[in-house]
Structure 1
Amino acid sequence: MKATYHKYMLEFKRPSGTSRGIMTEKETWFIILEENDKKGIGECGILRGLSADDRDDYEDKLKWTCQNIHLGEAALWETLLEFPSIQFGIEMAFLSLKSENPYLLFPSDFTNNTESIAINGLVWMGEASYMKEQIEEKLDAGFSCIKLKIGAIDFDKELNLLKFIRSHFSAEQIEIRVDANGAFALNEALDKLNQLNQFQLHSIEQPIKKGNTQAMANLCQITPFPIALDEELIGIFSFKEKEELLQKIKPQYIILKPSFIGGFRGTQEWITLAEKYNIGWWITSALESNIGLNAIAQWTFLQNSKMPQGLGTGALYTNNFDCPLEVKEGKLWYSQSTKWNSDFLYIV
C-alpha cells in the first residue's frame, strides 16, 4: 500500500464571519491510499485556531502517517490520538479504498436517494442587513430549523434579528438554534441567556469560552433554555476524560464534529456517553470539502437521529468538488442525477 498527502485551499464564495473573525479561505488536507490499482481518499479537516491538532508538527505527523500506513487503520488511530482530524482522514481513506466506489462508504437508503437527512440552515455573522438577508433566504428555501451565529455584532441588533423571525414564524413553525462560539463574558452570560429566552430558542451552543468548566456547569444547571457544548469537547481525547467532562458539566446537548473529535470512532464514544447520561446530541460538519462532508453525512444517516443535523455547508466554496449531495426543502439528499467530479482523486 502506498499513501500520500496533499494540501488544498478551499475558497469561500463570500467572507464568512464567526466570533473568532472573518474567514475567506479554509485549509484542508487529503490522504490518498493506493493498493492493487485502487485508490481511496480521506479528508483531514483541520480548522486553524480551533482544532486540537493545530500544531507546528501537523504536516510532519501527516508525513509520518503516510510513511507508516502499513501499521493499519486501528493502530494508526490509537497512535494519532492527539491528531483527531488525521484520525478521521485515515478512517475515511481506508473505508474509501475498501469500497467499490471510493465515495460510497456507507450504503443506505440515504445513498439510494430514497431517504434524506433533516438539516439546519446556517446563518453567518455579519451586518444586521446581511444576516436578515440570509434568514429570509433560508426561510424561503423551506428550512424548518435555522442556526444563527451570534456574538460578533451588537447584541441588541442580534435580539432584533430574532424578534424579526419570531414576528413572522412561531416556535412550532421554525426552530431556532444560536451559536455564540464562546463569545459571552462569564459575568454577562446568564443575563444574555435570559434575554434570548423570550424568543423560544431550541438551544445555544457554547455561550462561554471552553475551559471554564465550573462556570459552564453552573450555567447548564440554571439556564432558562438548553445549552449545547461544542468547542468544550475539543482536545478531550480519552474515554475517561470524556465521561468526566459530561459528568461535571451535565449539558443538555453536545455537538459532534468528527474532524475535531477523532472521526467516527471518537464520535461514537461521545454518543455512547451522551446516551448513558440522557444528553441529547447532533452531528455537524466542520467546514470540510464535499469529500469529508459526504463521509460524515453517510455515517450520520446510519445513527438514526431525527433531529436536524448541521450538514448544510457544501455550497460555501467556489472550488469545492461536484458531488451528489443536494439540499432541498431543508433536507440533505444524495441525488442520483449528480455525479462525483473525481478527477481530483486521480490527479494528485
Structure 2
Amino acid sequence: MRADYFRYMLKFKRPGGTSRGVLHEKETFILEVSDGERKGIGECALFRGLSFDDRPDYEEKLQWLCLHIQEHPDVLHERLKDYPSIWFGYEQAMLNLKHGGNLYFPSAFTRREASITINGLIWMGDIQFMEEQIKDKLDQGFHCIKLKIGTDWRSEHGILQELRGRFSKDILELRVDANGAFSKEQAQIVLQQLADLDIHSIEQPIKAGNWAHMAELCADTPTPIALDEELIGITDTEKKVELLETIRPQYIILKPALVGGFRGSDEWIELAGNRNIDWWITSALESNIGLNAIAQYTYTKKSNKPQGLGTGGLFTNNFNNYLNLSGEHLYFR
C-alpha cells in the first residue's frame, strides 16, 4: 500500500456569501492510495474557519497518514479522530480502492435506478440576488428550499412572508439556516415569526457551544430546531450522548467532512435515532470527488427527507462530475 496527497484550490464561479464572509476560493486536499494494481481516491475536505481540524499541523498529519497507510483502520481512526476531514478522505479512498471506478457505495443509486431528492439552497446576498435564486429554484421544480438568514432579518422575513403567501406548506417546504446569527432573546422572537409562516425548521439559531440556552430554546420552540455547527468537534461517544441528552433538538444536520466521515455520521444517526431525533445530510463545499462519495453514502441511509447536497456546479475548476440534477432529483451518471 502506498499513499500520497496534493493540495487543490477550488475557484468559485461567483463569490459565495456565507456566515463566514464571502468566499472566492475553497482549499481542499486530495488523497490517493494504491495497492500496486488498483487506485483509490478521496477528498480530505478541510473547511477553513469551520472544520475542527483547521490547525497548523494539518498537512503534517496528512503526511503521517500517508506514511502509515498500512496500519489497521481502527488504529488510524483513533489517531485521526481529531482530524475528521482527513479520516473522511481516508474512508473514501479505501472504499474507492475496493469498488473501483467512481464507486464508493454501490447501490440502486449508482446503478442509475434511483435518485436522491434535495433541497434548493439560496445563497446569502442582497435581496435581489436571493429573490433571483428563489425564482430559479421554483422554476426548476423544487418543493423544498433552504434560505440562509441572519444578515438582514427584516428583509429576509419579508421574502419568507411573500413565499408563504404564494405557496402553502403542503406545496413548498421552507427551511432556514441562521448559522448562529441570533442571540437567545432574538431567537425566541424569530422562532415564533417562523412558526407563523409554517417554516419547517431552523438550523443553529444561536452560536454553537451555548448548550443551556439551546436546550431552553429546543424545549419550548414553536419551530423545530436543527443542530449543525453544534456537532463539530464532538468526537467521543459519551460527549455526543451528553449533547443530545442535554439539548434534545428536533433534528441534527450531518456534514460528513465535519463530523468524522461516514463512521462518525453513522454513530450520530444511531444515537439520534435512539432518542427520536431526526436528521438529514448536507454537503459542505466539497469538490466533485467528496460530493460524489457523500451522495452515494446518503442514498444508502434511506431518508425520506430532502437532503442538503450540492450539485458540483459552484466551481470553475472542479473535477469530473458524476452527479446530474433533474428538477429536485439528484442522479448518478
TM-score if structure 2 supplies the norm length?
A: 0.98
CA distance in 2, matches of 1:224, 1:275: 22
3-state SS in 2 of match to 1:318: coil
CA distance in 2, matches of 1:321, 1:198: 43
Structure 2: unaligned runs, 5 residues or longer = none
Select which of 214, 217, 228 maps to 1:216: 214
Moved more, 49-58 or 37-46: 37-46
Partner of 2:104: 105
Name the Cα RMSD after superposition. Answer: 1.0
> 2:146 touches 2:177 (CA, 8 Å); kept in 1?
yes
CA distance in 1, matches of 2:60, 2:29: 13
> 1:46 touches 1:54 (CA, 8 Å); kept in 2?
yes
Structure 1: unaligned runs, 5 residues or longer = 336-348
CA distance in 1, matches of 2:277, 2:297: 20
CA distance in 2, matches of 1:18, 1:320: 20
Identical-pair percentage: 57
Select which of 241, 244, 263 maps to 1:243: 241
- 1:22-60: CA deviation from partner (whole Å, max 9, x where unpaired): 111111101111222321111011111011001011111
3-state SS in 2 of match to 1:27: strand
Partner of 2:309: 311
CA distance in 2, matches of 1:247, 1:305: 23
1:74 Cα deviation (Å)? 2.7
Partner of 2:279: 281
Partner of 1:122: 121
| Equivalences for residues 94-243 of structure 1 within 5 A | 94-101=94-101, 103-152=102-151, 154-243=152-241
Paired AA for residue 30 in structure 2: F
3-state SS in 1 of match to 2:28: strand
> 2:288 touches 2:322 (CA, 8 Å); kept in 1?
no
TM-score if structure 1 supplies the norm length?
A: 0.94
3-state SS in 1 of match to 2:9: strand
CA distance in 2, matches of 1:180, 1:309: 18
Runs of 4+ aligned structure 1 residues displaced above 6 Å come to none
1:313 Cα deviation (Å)? 4.1
Matched, 1:87 2:91: no
> 2:120 touches 2:142 (CA, 8 Å); kept in 1?
yes
Paired AA for residue 199 in structure 1: L
> 1:254 touches 1:279 (CA, 8 Å); kept in 2?
yes
- 1:93-149: CA deviation from partner (whole Å, max 9, x where unpaired): 111111232x21111111111110010010001000000000000010111101001
CA distance in 1, matches of 2:195, 2:46: 34
> 2:144 touches 2:175 (CA, 8 Å); kept in 1?
yes
> 1:53 touches 1:82 (CA, 8 Å); kept in 2?
yes
